[in-house]
Structure 1
Amino acid sequence: MRPVLRSPVGAASAVLLCLLVALAVFAPILWGDRAAAIDTDALQQGPSSAHLLGTDQLGRDIFYRVLVATRLTLGLALLATVIGVTGGLLLGSAPSVLPRWAARIVTSAVNIAVAFPGLLLALFFAVIFGTGTVGAVLAIAFAITPSFARLTQTLTASVSGRDFVKAARVCGVGRFRLLVRHVLPNIAEPLVINATMAAGTALMAVAGLSFLGIGVQAPSYDWGRLLGEGLNRIYLSPAPALGPAIAVVVAGLAFNLFGEAAASLAGRRQQQRQEPVTHESVVDTSAGGLLTVRNLHVTFPGGVRAVRGVSFTVQDGEMVGVVGESGSGKSLTALAVSRLVEHPGVVSADRLEFNGTPLARTSDRELGTGLAMVFQDPMTSFNPALRIGRQVAEVSEVHQGLSRRAAFAKAVDRLRAVRIPEADRRARQYPHEFSGGMRQRAMIAMGLMGEPRLVIADEPTTALDVTVQREVLRLLARIRAERSAAVLLISHDITVVAQTCDRVLVMYAGRIVEELPTSELFTSARHPYTTALLAAVPDLDTDRDAPLAVIPGRPPEPGEIARGCPFAPRCPVAEQKCRLEEPSLVSVDEGHQVACWKLDAELVEAAVGGAR
């Protein structure tokens, strides 16, 4: 509220709203008798020192009647707003908790209602509910509901796909609790702002219905009814109509301007909080170990295969790196392993096991905290409406049955373990109060709340400076050493993987094209794509006067993969066979597999070196 009140528009509208509330509370008490006093000697008089806006047909003072009518007008408008906003909130959030068929019915009904103008809906419902105060309130409330429901649906959908919501689902949080605790708090600000502006619209509508004679009925009166009475003699004396008209306009502007000021401030604050997001991640290969994946496929409607027959194994205590350009399927592979691919994506595999247990038939509670995932953008992975310590502690509350106090104490200990200074104080702060590196370490701390045997780190150093990158990578290495945990590190930086991992998996177009030990990466890489990735990394010996090495062309989209090797259009040694038939991943040495028709390392290196 304070920043809103500091702006000129916000301050002016707030003063007007306070004045209106004061009038609604005190005007009937102070001037109720004067507004109701009948004076037969002063019937329909014009403005004077005794009657500032003149009198009506019974000699009652119109100025005092306008002041007293503030309570009923504002009361009806706010009541209609509360009913309409509540109904819209329920209808808008219902698709998140209802079965899919019921959600479609609700969404279709809202879409149909939104197609009609609000004023038309208000008049329609006013005819149904009949004339009078109750009919007017219900008519306006029902007219507000569809548009607010549509807004709620849109905002809910924008938050439901965030990483922290997916993480809550993995923790076993139910749909209703997910909505109340994780979704609605993050869309409360725009909902409140729009509700404020809806109150101004409702006030205008209440006055409009009373003006037409289908709202407030005698002997009660509001601004709309007073305006209708004054309009009958506007050519003789405009003051009786001008008074309630000004009141309606000023009150409507107060609500709308306050909402606009709050919305403008929220928009600026959102821009300040936004941080750059880059890259993608995840994948792995081997044979029968802690994590075993065989012939993994991830498909989407239209026959789009984003992951195509990926197979690998991660052993206990092993650190495996996954590299490749954006769109190569790294992140989708990791999400499939973590069971985070949502409809309409379909995951299938001949074998997908963690610690010897099929993942497809293992419940979240049985899986426990043995598998942890660190997402590449912690700003979207943390719930911005909850404190860091509360979110980190939730893992132990859900999976280990700890009390809230014990879980929070453990969360502070884990934050301290990942080298976050003043962990007890920091645990009570919100995500936006952390730096990028601290948020990433807090994400790792969340993964350590259990006893993970496998940590999937999806671009954990994205958008971090090199010193913070080094800290995060050292932290992962320390976790591996102290806990004997396996780590699957996804990165676009092949040199980082070479320095930290035991094995590297190179992905292209949804499949693994080469797997080899990192100790042999710079000397024995045999796939043209791997060699080109290495050549594109500058070092101290790179000629600074020459242009940087690049891989020509671009990776194919998942729906564009045709016959043959997907890398053939960009490959400097491609032959006719490469364009007709896709090679399989075959072993060329112990722990070294390549999917290429040209397995002559010297030829590949010479060709790529010449292109460089």
Structure 2
Amino acid sequence: MARRISPTGLLGAALIAVVLLLAIAGPPLWGEAAARMDTGGINAPASAEHWFGTDALGRDVFARTMVAARLSLLLATLATLLGVGAGIVLGALPMVLGRRGARAMTTVVELLVAFPGLLLAMALAVVVGLGSRGAVLGLGCAMAPGFARLTQTLAASVAGSDYLAAAKVLGVGRRRRLTHYVLPNIAEPLILNLTVSFGQSLLALAGLSFLGLGVQAPEYDWGRLVSDGMTGVYISPMTTVGPAAAICVAALGFTLFGESLSQAASGRRAARGRSAVREHVSLPPEPGAVLRVEELTVTFPGGLRPVRGLSFTVRQGEIVGIVGESGSGKSLTASAVAGLVPHPGTVTAKRLELAGHDLLGLGERQRRHLLGTELAMVFQDPMSALNPALRVGAQLAEVATTHRGASAAQARELAVERLGEVALPEPARLARQYPHEYSGGMRQRAVIAMGLMAEPGLIVADEPTTALDVTVQRQILRLLREVTDGRAGVLISHDLAVVAQLCSRVLVMYAGRIVEELTVEELRAGPAHPYTRALLDSLPTLDSDRSKPLRTIPGRQPGPGERLDGCPFAPRCEAASDRCRAERPALTGGVACHHPLKTKEAVR
């Protein structure tokens, strides 16, 4: 559900509507009055008959201001479209060209951006010729480098995505990657910037006309009217103020509306990332289930499915570990549950319940409140989860004021209390410090404390100890065990040893699916799936022969866009048969394998 446009956005939309109405109705209604000359009323001041006074030929300035709305908007539209179109082409070319061509094009854009835009517009307007055409071409060319840089930056943010990497692996051509993978994912911010740039174009064109480089007589736009009114500004100020006010109102309208759309879009991107389509099914509730997931799938454009039909349950008082190699879909599964799948990813599921509430059936505000109070996320990099510009205590307090309705004083007191609960010394002093003043372990504890602010029923920890040394890692694991006492927990890790220390049940993921579900005792006794056994055998122990290299799993994991007809692990499995390569095994008896291994005692 998209966020509603803010009051400032509504104000901007109203101003735009007024200006558009003037552009349509202005010439028919006031065209005759705008052209009528009165030699007896030259440079007359504002009056009931002439609201903005008259010009040097006795023409009504108010009528001319209303008529000029059409040409002003038309020229601004042409200049904006020219600048945006040329900028997108320049910014997108590096994605199509080779390495040298891309580097050359990037250098050209950087040089153009370094040149002042208004000076470039003025120079081009003089070279092309004074008048509307020169002003539009000059301003369009001046706007293009900025949009080219924006397009390059946005494209670079997409260039590192997994789905684009998969497209490269699959042999998708550069042009198709640009048109089907890059541009659709950056279209929204470009459109939003176009709206804001329209208001800037109005101001810039008015400035060019005011300087005599834009619209020439007998044509006139708002900038030309301001310039003409300067001759009698001390006698009749309204001849200048009136057209200037029209410029400000129109530019302000487009700017306010564009900024409001940008703010609303940030909410829409998050909502699209967690939006879900569900087949309505009647499934009985499961007693004690804090999280219940049925057929969870995450899809990105191009048919990429990094998570494929996951079903699992997390009950109160238990910690479930999700393990697998990088790219198996572990973190994206947690993001789907927490509503954090990035745009343009979509989430589908038959059921997605948290604390007995149906996440798929809730509205945007209700879903955000439920996720903010019943679920806590502990991320791998605590520095990215903490705002470096705010004190830690203020960030924790914001959770209480937003989701619990606490006063500022109550929220600060609760923040100090939570910092103390995660064993941070002198919590009152640390609450006044910034994240950079904390060590890595302290920051991770602060993130855990932030998650506890709303008393959640489920704690999801995504690789919470990866960036920490062994001693701090042990402390964080012990803390997680303490804070999840009586709650439900999900621990995401690639390290089976870490999972075995903290969890009671383990879900093993491969290629976006759960291939084995087993208890920690069964994991230690010997897993049945060859992939889980290979992961376990690749862990070094005190008994490992140091003279031999660590065991690895040959081959690679299938990409999210690859079609998986048979067992996804078959190309890497020594026991794979023709049946494995042709038929995907179902998850039965806790393992998805046609040839499950026999349990062996005391593997670890």
TM-score (norm. length: structure 2): 0.56
Whole-angstrom distance in 2 between the partners of 1:413 and 1:160: 41
Summarize the alignment of residues 103-142 of structure 1 with structure 2, pairs less than 5 Å apart: 111-112=84-85, 114=87, 118=117, 119-124=119-124
Question: Matched residue pairs, number?
Answer: 374
In the superposition, relative to structure 1, how do residues 402 and 323 fare at CA in structure 2: closer, same or farther (>3 Å)?
same
Deviation at 1:366, TM superposition (A): 4.3
Partner SS for 1:560:
coil
Deviation at 1:350, TM superposition (A): 0.9
Q: What code does the residue aligned with 1:406 have? A: Q
Partner SS for 1:586:
coil
Partner SS for 1:601:
coil
Asked if 1 retains the 8 angstrom alpha-carbon contact of 2:526 and 2:533, the reply is no
Asked if 2 retains the 8 angstrom alpha-carbon contact of 1:431 and 1:439, the reply is yes
Per-residue CA deviations over 1:435-455 (Å, capped at 9, x if unaligned) read 211111111111000111000
Say yes or no: does 1:391 pair with 2:388.
no
Whole-angstrom distance in 2 between the partners of 1:404 and 1:152: 39
Q: Which residue of 1 aligns with 2:488?
A: 486
Gaps spanning 5+ residues in structure 1: where? Answer: 1-104, 162-205, 211-216, 218-285, 588-592
Q: Which residue of 2 aligns with 1:598?
A: 595
Summarize the alignment of residues 25-424 of structure 1 with structure 2, pairs less than 5 Å apart: 111-112=84-85, 114=87, 118=117, 119-124=119-124, 147=145, 289-362=289-362, 363=366, 364-424=368-428
Deviation at 1:404, TM superposition (A): 2.5
Partner SS for 1:298:
strand
Whole-angstrom distance in 1 between the partners of 2:449 and 2:559: 35
Deviation at 1:290, TM superposition (A): 1.1
Asked if 1 retains the 8 angstrom alpha-carbon contact of 2:124 and 2:138, the reply is no
Whole-angstrom distance in 2 between the partners of 1:109 and 1:455: 51
- 2:444 paired residue among 440, 443, 455: 440
Whole-angstrom distance in 1 between the partners of 2:142 and 2:382: 37
Deviation at 1:529, TM superposition (A): 0.5
Whole-angstrom distance in 1 between the partners of 2:141 and 2:80: 16
Deviation at 1:506, TM superposition (A): 0.5
Asked if 2 retains the 8 angstrom alpha-carbon contact of 1:513 and 1:595, the reply is yes
Per-residue CA deviations over 1:386-437 (Å, capped at 9, x if unaligned) read 2222222111111111222321222122112112223222222222222211
- Max radius of gyration: which structure? 1
In the superposition, relative to structure 1, how do residues 147 and 319 fare at CA in structure 2: closer, same or farther (>3 Å)?
same
In the superposition, relative to structure 1, how do residues 346 and 139 fare at CA in structure 2: closer, same or farther (>3 Å)?
closer
Whole-angstrom distance in 2 between the partners of 1:388 and 1:498: 32
In the superposition, relative to structure 1, how do residues 142 and 129 fare at CA in structure 2: closer, same or farther (>3 Å)?
farther
Asked if 2 retains the 8 angstrom alpha-carbon contact of 1:565 and 1:582, the reply is yes
Summarize the alignment of residues 554-573 of structure 1 with structure 2, pairs less than 5 Å apart: 554-573=556-575
Asked if 2 retains the 8 angstrom alpha-carbon contact of 1:304 and 1:558, the reply is yes
Whole-angstrom distance in 2 between the partners of 1:338 and 1:148: 36
Partner SS for 2:556:
coil
Q: What code does the residue aligned with 2:420 have? A: R
Whole-angstrom distance in 1 between the partners of 2:510 and 2:79: 42
In the superposition, relative to structure 1, how do residues 129 and 446 fare at CA in structure 2: closer, same or farther (>3 Å)?
farther
Deviation at 1:158, TM superposition (A): 8.9
Q: What code does the residue aligned with 1:356 have? A: G
Partner SS for 1:553:
coil
Partner SS for 2:484:
helix
Asked if 1 retains the 8 angstrom alpha-carbon contact of 2:515 and 2:592, the reply is yes
Asked if 2 retains the 8 angstrom alpha-carbon contact of 1:322 and 1:491, the reply is yes
Summarize the alignment of residues 485-564 of structure 1 with structure 2, pairs less than 5 Å apart: 485-564=487-566
Whole-angstrom distance in 2 between the partners of 1:371 and 1:406: 21
Q: Which residue of 1 aligns with 2:102?
A: none
Whole-angstrom distance in 2 between the partners of 1:129 and 1:475: 72
Per-residue CA deviations over 1:21-42 (Å, capped at 9, x if unaligned) read xxxxxxxxxxxxxxxxxxxxxx
Indicate the larger mover: 121-130 or 556-565. 121-130
- Matched-pair identity in %: 54
In the superposition, relative to structure 1, how do residues 148 and 384 fare at CA in structure 2: closer, same or farther (>3 Å)?
farther
Whole-angstrom distance in 1 between the partners of 2:555 and 2:295: 28
Q: Which residue of 2 aligns with 1:464?
A: 468
Deviation at 1:343, TM superposition (A): 2.4
Whole-angstrom distance in 1 between the partners of 2:417 and 2:303: 47
Q: What code does the residue aligned with 2:460 have? A: I
Deviation at 1:322, TM superposition (A): 0.7
In the superposition, relative to structure 1, how do residues 421 and 550 fare at CA in structure 2: closer, same or farther (>3 Å)?
same
Whole-angstrom distance in 1 between the partners of 2:83 and 2:474: 51
In the superposition, relative to structure 1, how do residues 584 and 406 fare at CA in structure 2: closer, same or farther (>3 Å)?
same
Asked if 2 retains the 8 angstrom alpha-carbon contact of 1:396 and 1:407, the reply is yes
In the superposition, relative to structure 1, how do residues 543 and 397 fare at CA in structure 2: closer, same or farther (>3 Å)?
same
Whole-angstrom distance in 1 between the partners of 2:145 and 2:433: 35
Q: Which residue of 1 aligns with 2:434?
A: 430
Asked if 1 retains the 8 angstrom alpha-carbon contact of 2:528 and 2:591, the reply is yes
Q: What code does the residue aligned with 1:328 have? A: S
Q: Which residue of 2 aligns with 1:451?
A: 455
Whole-angstrom distance in 2 between the partners of 1:570 and 1:430: 47
Deviation at 1:143, TM superposition (A): 8.3
Per-residue CA deviations over 1:272-296 (Å, capped at 9, x if unaligned) read xxxxxxxxxxxxxx96611100111
Asked if 1 retains the 8 angstrom alpha-carbon contact of 2:380 and 2:467, the reply is no
Whole-angstrom distance in 1 between the partners of 2:303 and 2:143: 39
TM-score (norm. length: structure 1): 0.55
Asked if 2 retains the 8 angstrom alpha-carbon contact of 1:527 and 1:594, the reply is yes
Asked if 2 retains the 8 angstrom alpha-carbon contact of 1:123 and 1:139, the reply is no
Partner SS for 1:558:
coil
Q: What code does the residue aligned with 2:327 have? A: G
Q: What code does the residue aligned with 1:350 have? A: K
Q: What code does the residue aligned with 1:338 have? A: A
Q: Which residue of 2 aligns with 1:271?
A: none
Whole-angstrom distance in 2 between the partners of 1:400 and 1:140: 54
Whole-angstrom distance in 2 between the partners of 1:529 and 1:141: 60
Partner SS for 1:353:
strand
Q: What code does the residue aligned with 1:393 have? A: A
Partner SS for 2:561:
helix
Q: Which residue of 1 aligns with 2:580?
A: 578
